[in-house]
Amino acid sequence: MELLIAVAFVAVLSVLGIYSYSGYTTTSQSYSAQNTLKLIALAQSEHKSELGYFFCSDPDPTIDDSVNINSSLFSGHEILKGNDYYLLKSTGIKADGSQLSAQECSSSPELATGYILKAIMKKTSETYCLKDNGNENCN
């Protein structure tokens, strides 16, 4: 009987531990995404000061821009490694507030007078944003 109680107690503790660990990993992935956006924002500022416009890429939300961001903003160094937790987007914004299309980004990148960076969580589709004005609102 005592052994049964001990096994039940260990089972309850392990369930609580797994639940806590799951919450911890989700929170750390969220913070990682937000910090990555801040890192990209710093690189965007440098890009604009050097070239006069912000980096932008295809606004399609299903495409991860990590490779393009690495090559354009971090001189090809693999600063942003592909991960299983979130997709990264860098969408260019025109002076009138509209988004640049993929074609406009490749043919006329100088139109990008602003940007919206997004990290889209793969598990939950929760989206974190950071705009060139520091605003974290996605709208």
* Interval 49-100: pLDDT, tens: 999 999 998 888 788 888 888 888 988 777 777 677 888 999 999 999 898 9
pLDDT of 49 reads 92
Nearest residue to 72 (alpha-carbon basis) of 105, 99, 100, 97: 105
Q: Is the pTM of this model over 0.95?
A: no
Which segments of 41-126 are extended strands (E)?
Answer: 86-93, 114-121
- Could you tell me the pLDDT band of residue 44, with boundaries at 50, 70 and 90? very high
- Could you tell me the pLDDT band of residue 40, with boundaries at 50, 70 and 90? very high
Task: Specify which residues 97 forms β-bridges with.
Answer: none
